[in-house]
Amino acid sequence: MARKMLVDGEAAVAGADSYDYDLFVIGAGSGGVRGSRTAASFGAKVAICELPFHPISSEWLGGHGGTCVIRGCVPKKILVYGASFRGEFEDSENFGWEINGDINFNWKKLLENKTKEIVRLNGVYQRILSSAGVTMIEGAGSLVDAHTVEVSQPDGSKQRYTAKHILIATGSRAQRVNIPGKELAITSDEALSLEELPKRAVILGGGYIAVEFASIWRGMGAEVDLFYRRELPLRGFDDEMRAVVASNLEGRGIKLHPRTNLSELSKTADGIKVVTDKGEELIADVVLFATGRTPNSQRLNLQAAGVEVDQIGAIKVDEYSRTSAPNVWAVGDVTNRVNLTPVALMEATCFAKTVFGGQQVKPDHRDVPCAVFSIPPLSVVGLSEQEAVEEAKGDILVFTSSFNPMKNSISKRQEKTIMKLLVDADTDKVLGASMCGPDAPEIIQGIAIAIKCGATKANFDSTVGIHPSAAEEFVTMRTATRRVSPASKPKTSL
C-alpha cells in the first residue's frame, strides 16, 4: 500500500527512498506513543525507542508511557486520592459515621498498589504500540544526521537506524536549585517512590507540583512547610483563584512561607537542616525541590541534524511542530509550549495527520483546560482576569460565586467553593472560567467545550442547571461582580 506523506504542502509516496523506516520516534511518552501509532494507522512504517522501565527516571531509565504515566500525572493522582480520605474521615462524623479508635495509614501498601498500576500501564502502552505495528527498540536515541538515529545501550553497544522523518518526544526532567546541600533534596520522581512517609516535609516551589505534594503529604498526616518566591503560589493562574488556593492550603494545616527561598541544606542527626534566605531554620525528614522542569534535549545531539534550541534547551518548532531541520519534528514538553500531557497528544496527532495523513493540521494552544490537583482542586480554561484585561479592546465583565458546598453545611468544614466567569462586555463571549472546589476538573472539562465553541454568557444563562449541584452555579450567575476597563489594567507582582 502506498503511504502518503505531506511535507511542505506536497504529497509524496513513501518507499522511493531507501530508509529503514518512514518515521523514527525518540521517546515513548504520551506524545511519542500517540504520534507513532497514529502515523502507523496511516500506513507508515514506524519505530520508536525508549529507555528501560523504572519508576524513577535517570540517564538510562525511563519506560513506555513516559513521565505522565510512570512518574507524573497518574501516580500523583493516585496519591491525591489516598490523601483525600483524611478529610473524608473528618467530615464523616456529622453524617452519622462513628469511627472508634485510631485510623492508621499504611504508606507502603499505597506505594505498592501505585507501583503495580504504573507497571500495568507500562505494559498497556507497549501492547498499544505492538497492536499498531510499531517496532519498539530499547535504548537511548540520539541524532547522527537529519535521517539517522543512533540507539545506545547501557553496556555501550550502539545501533543505527535511518528514517524519512524523525519525531522527538523526549519530554522534560525535574531540575534542582543550585544551593549548598542540594544533593540532600529530592524531586517529584523520588517523592512518588519514597520508602518511608515523611513526618516533616519542606517543599520549595509554588507551581503545580509543589502545591499538589503539599496537599498529598499533609493529607497523609505530615507537617508541611511550603516556600515560594511570590506572594501567592501558582504564578500564571488567575490571581483571585491563587488567593483561594493559598487560603485552602492554610486551612488544611499547611504552613505557607511566601517570598522566601531556601539558601542551604545540611545533614544532622535529627534530619535535614533547612536554612532560608531570611535566616529561619527548621528540620525536615524530606526536602522537595519543585522548582520547574527543563526540556530533556541534552543527549540528543541535535546540532548534528541542524536542529535549533532556545536558551533553556527547548527545541524550536514552527506552528506544525517542525524543527529547523525540515524532516525532524518535535512535540510535547521538549518544545516548552504548553506543557501538559493532553497538549502533547494533540500536537502528536496533528503531526501525524500533517506528515502521513494528507492533512495540514496545526495544534491549537488556545483555551486549553487544566487542573491543579490540590485538595480541593483548582481548574481553569481560557483566560485569567489579568490576561482578559490585557487582551481586551473593551470592558470585561467579571462574574463570581462564592458559596459553602452542601456537604460542608453538614460537615461544618470551613472551605468555600469559588467559581468565576470572564465575559467580553461588547460581544457577550465567555473568555475564561475558573473553579476551586470539589470536582472542579470534572466540571471545567465540560465548560471547556462550551468556551471552545465560542459560547456567550447568554448561552450559559439559557442553560438549565442540575440541582442540587455545585456545577449549576455556572449557569445561575446573573449579576456581574465587577466591570473592568482595559484602561485600568491591573499590574501584579504576586
**Identified catalytic residue from 54, 147, 257, 467:** 467
Q: Cα-flanking dihedrals φ and ψ of residue 143, to 5°? A: -85, 140
Would you say 207 is a known binding-site residue? yes
> Is 452 annotated among the ligand-binding residues?
no
210 has binding-site annotation: yes
461 is in an annotated binding site: no
Q: Is 93 annotated as a binding residue?
A: no
Q: Is 270 annotated as a binding residue?
A: no
Residue whose C-alpha cell is 453538614: 410
Has 208 been labeled as part of a binding site?
yes
Distances (CA, A) of 422 to 89, 207, 406, 417, 463: 36, 23, 25, 17, 17
Q: Is 264 annotated as a binding residue?
A: no
* 171 appears as a binding residue in the annotation: yes
Residue 125 marked ligand-binding = no
Catalytic (active site) residue 257? no
Contacts of 441 (CB under 8 A, 6+ apart): 371, 373, 377, 379
- 179 labelled binding-site residue: no
Residue stretches of the annotated binding site: 77, 141, 170-172, 205-212, 292, 333
Binding site per annotation, positions for NAD(+): 205-212, 292
Binding site for FAD, residues?
Answer: 77, 141, 170-172, 333
- Active site amino acids: 467
